[in-house]
Structure 1
């Protein structure tokens, strides 16, 4: 193990209840942390109040708890960190790495869908405006713990992305990077649908002169028609009365075959057994679709 103590994290947004896809991601990050005798921390990414579902934060905690996924240390809430995000913005501003942008979504869509740096060199813009990161050294190549060396479309990774929205809310990329640095996260385990956000966030790590964590992007759980198993696609919430069955299902998606002996285990023994079985190379190339 690296001489630096391992710190992993699971960082759900409380826009809905946890579903099987969420459980697979949480379980994968938990197993990776515990297999290395590291910490597994929980962060609630609650920086977007309009998207928060009432009761979702409590459900997330309950769902993890009944599945034996007990986090280390106190829960981190992004809603508590506005001062830290503002300080980070001031640091970027002092280094000429952000600028004001008055462009609307409709204007960007009409221009092809990707922001072309329209406001980067403007001396003044009209309110309301967002703050964008001046992307001078985009990251297009990543070395992933599961996927290996991957290249992401440079035309997507070099876009000047938003770090503070027009409505005054801090953007996902900024909040995630600032918190990962503060938490000392050494590896991020999450779904492969977040490869592009990872590339963008790595540019922010470099802008803050911080070493990015290692990554492992897990295969996604999908419906039969290929759609991602997600809250946006109405994936059903986990049945919290069936934690053992849910864990067995999730372990199968992570390439861990349930033995007859393991099938009889309750939640905690099953998790302890799964830690001993966890190997990155056992992960499937792709996930079988759900019905």
Structure 2
């Protein structure tokens, strides 16, 4: 099977260093395997999106030498596919409506358990819909972080798959689109490592294939916090891509030629030296 990897940014700001690390890491893994590298814009959370950021990210990536093999997939155009998956879950009685307030959830320790809503139905407002999580352990071997285990009922609880506002949750959309794009390995940050067992369970519920997973270390700021667009991390500059690109490769412990003078030349030299087994495991501060 041809290797197919992907980079899937959320349009909540401009491309920053942490996202560049994820993009470069996923690109290197795909190219090292002789496979394809795809893009997906995860624009299913309108309240958090920054107007124009999706196109800005897509425009910035080629400046760093990161060119996808297919046109980008926009999740905002995939509502029918998520509707179909949701109806499949509902027909199998795997989801249930939930009117629980944040206060009620907080009183329950912040995790919804039990497979049914603990609040009374409220005809004045629509419910969220949750996936029933059984008392089952999902285990998988992450290619970088090693063996992982999670008791779904205890550690994840009944997760939301469709929000009160009608938007589909990340977990459902991600699973549906990884299958649709034929992704064979998901390369992303360790902030999503905890989500993986839930996504594997959703794949099983929907009869979808499970890709391999490789979770990269996070880039941290000077205070040790994750670099993210929501924390207004300083964006990388596509007009001067080489400094940030070299820093991203150094963060991933990938050597490059000192004489490479263009982003593509830097990536080509990095690819010659790249060994996925030598990727670092632990989060570190941005250089």
TM-score range, shorter chain: over 0.9
On the 8 A contact 2:257/2:269 being kept in 1, the answer is no
Aligned length: 286
5+ long unaligned stretches in structure 1: none
Structure 2 residue aligned with 1:32: 29
Match of 1:91 in 2: 88
C-alpha root-mean-square deviation of aligned residues, in Å? Answer: 2.0
Match for residue 255 of structure 1 among 242, 253, 256: 253
Please list every run of 5 or more consecutive structure 2 residues that lacks an aligned counterpart in the other structure: none
The equivalent residue for 1:246 is 244
In 2, distance between residues paired with 1:260 and 1:38? 27
Deviation string, structure 1 residues 123-156 (Cα, Å, up to 9, x no partner): 9664420111111264542201111112346565
1:114 deviates by 1.2
1:1-291 residue pairs with structure 2 within 5 A?
4-117=1-114, 119-120=116-117, 126=123, 127-136=125-134, 138-152=136-150, 157-261=155-259, 264-290=260-286
Q: Provide the C-alpha distance between the structure 1 equivalents of 2:154 and 2:230, rounded to a whole number of angstroms.
A: 23
Partner of 2:232, secondary structure, is coil
- Aligned counterparts of 2:47 and 2:207: Cα–Cα separation in 1: 32
Once the two structures are superposed, residues 66-103 of structure 1 have per-residue CA deviations (whole angstroms, 9 ceiling, x without a partner) of 00100111110001111110111111111111111111
Q: TM-score by structure 1 length?
A: 0.92
* Shift in Å, 1:207: 0.5
**Partner SS state of residue 215, structure 1:** strand
SS in 2 for 1:260: coil
Q: Secondary structure at the residue paired with 2:284?
A: coil
Give per-residue Cα distances to partners, 1:183-242, cap 9 Å, x unaligned. 111000000110111111111001112221000000000012211111122211112222
Cα gap change, 1:122 to 1:113, in 2 (>3 Å):
closer
For the Cα contact (< 8 Å) 2:13–2:49, is it kept in 1?
yes
Do 1:188 and 1:215's aligned partners in 2 also have CA atoms closer than 8 Å? yes
